[in-house]
A and B are shown apart, each in its own frame.
Chain A
Amino acid sequence: MTKLQLITKGLVKDNPTFVLLLGMCPTLATTTSAINGLSMGLATLFVLVLSNMAISALAPVVPDKVHIPVYIVVIATFVTVLQFLMQAFVPGIYATLGLFIPLIVVNCIVLGRAEAFANKNGIVDSALDGLGVGLGFTLSLTVLGAVREILGGLSVFGWKIPGTGDGMLAFVMAPGAFLCLGYLMVLFNKFVAKK
């Protein structure tokens, strides 16, 4: 697999949301608007790249029996770093995403990449793999957020479409998250996924 393939495979072929169905909780909970979805995606990307690099470097010296706890502590450390950075530089977004920032620790995408890729590949490849999967996750969250924002609030990236009234509020609330993701998945299966 070339370096470029490592980055692009997460976008469509191995898309974490639409193909692998991983990390559903943040996908549904934080996509009330395109901006929120984008921020959550980037936050996960940050942790993915760093934890992939650290785990790929540590993997040869970690005894096999305790590898999962070690990986979780590594991931939790980077999540804590991310929490501090976000609190300091983007407190507004940190408050909106709330609980779902510490919950990146239990996002199956991060531990999944550590187990499936980072522990048997080099540091550079692991970083690129984290970047690719993170970008795929960010892309799906942004798309889902944008769709819900348009349907629910008739605005795009916070910009209200002029001359329109209120949207369908249900799409910004819980039911809309499930419905939108369900229908987006149908469209993805129909038009994008290769048989």
Chain B
Amino acid sequence: MEILLIIVSAIFVNNIVLSQFLGICPFLGVSNKLSTASGMSAAVCFVITLATLVTYLINKFLLVAFGLEFLQTIAFILVIAALVQMVEIVLKKMSPSLYQALGIFLPLITTNCAVLGVAINVVTKEFTFGQPSHMLGLGEAVLYAFATSLGYGLAMVLFAGLREHLALNSVPKSFKGVPIALVTVGILAMAFMGFSGIA
């Protein structure tokens, strides 16, 4: 039951883009085409899950164990940057086709605030998920991160689909480009607000 709650709450109710405002830059930047949007979502999904796993362990066994919590921000961003680099190298060797498909998106994920945001959130915030509020265990944290990144993908793909249609319409000159996209996201976010009643 709790697993289901974590998944539904992370994907729909607290959608990372539409209600937590994380990862907006790539969300607006690469959502012009459905294919690039899904490529970016896959890369983000991979990195968020892996980064949360690694930073959770580092936080627990290095930072907290030695009383160095104040280094969290610096340590996490370094870990994420190193991790992205490593994923890049491994992918290049193991699966050149996937590496080609993700292209420029991979290195850009370092500065995607969704990754750092989720990593910091799971080790500092208390969550409920139908139980008394508690800090997340490793399993829950990784599941939450994975579900959150699925939510990112969902928002990204939905929005890219909308934008492909938008490109075919004629809009007033001042609205062209980002303004009309923001208004569209606003309406999309309103639709997602309806989920808040569920969990």
Real binding pair: yes
Is B132 interfacial (CB 8 A cutoff)? no
List residues of chain A with CB within 8 A of the CB of B112: 106
Is B77 interfacial (CB 8 A cutoff)? yes
Q: Is the CB of A103 within 8 A of B113?
A: yes
Q: In the docked arrangement, what's the CA distance between A107 and B70, Å?
A: 20
List residues of chain B with CB within 8 A of the CB of A185: 178-179, 182
Is B154 interfacial (CB 8 A cutoff)? no
**Among candidates B22, B78, B116, B182, residue contacting A73 with C-beta atoms closer than 8 Å:** B78
- Please tell me the size bucket of the interface on A: 35 or more
With contacts A79-B73, A80-B70, A182-B182 known, is A106 near B21, CB below 8 A? no
- Which residues of chain A from 152 to 176 have any CB-CB distance to chain B below 8 Å in the complex? 170, 173-176
List residues of chain B with CB within 8 A of the CB of A25: 21-25, 113
Q: Is the CB of B189 within 8 A of A175?
A: yes
Number of chain B residues whose Cβ lies closer than 8 Å to a Cβ of chain A: 41
Is A190 interfacial (CB 8 A cutoff)? yes
Q: Is the CB of A178 within 8 A of B73?
A: no
Report the number of A-B residue pairs with Cβ-Cβ less than 8 Å.
111
List residues of chain A with CB within 8 A of the CB of B117: 99, 103
Q: In the docked arrangement, what's the CA distance between A77 and B24, Å?
A: 24
- Which A-chain residue is minimally distant from B196 (CB atoms)? A173
List the interface of chain B (C-beta within 8 A of A): 18-25, 28, 70-74, 77-78, 81, 110-113, 116-117, 120-121, 173-175, 178-183, 185-187, 189-190, 192-193
| Other contacts beyond A69-B81, A105-B116: 5, CB < 8 A | A21-B178, A103-B22, A103-B117, A106-B77, A182-B183
Return 24 A-B CB contacts under 8 Å, by A number. Answer: A22-B25, A24-B24, A25-B21, A25-B113, A28-B24, A69-B81, A72-B81, A73-B74, A76-B77, A80-B73, A84-B70, A103-B116, A170-B193, A173-B193, A174-B189, A175-B193, A178-B186, A183-B179, A185-B179, A185-B182, A187-B174, A189-B173, A189-B179, A190-B174
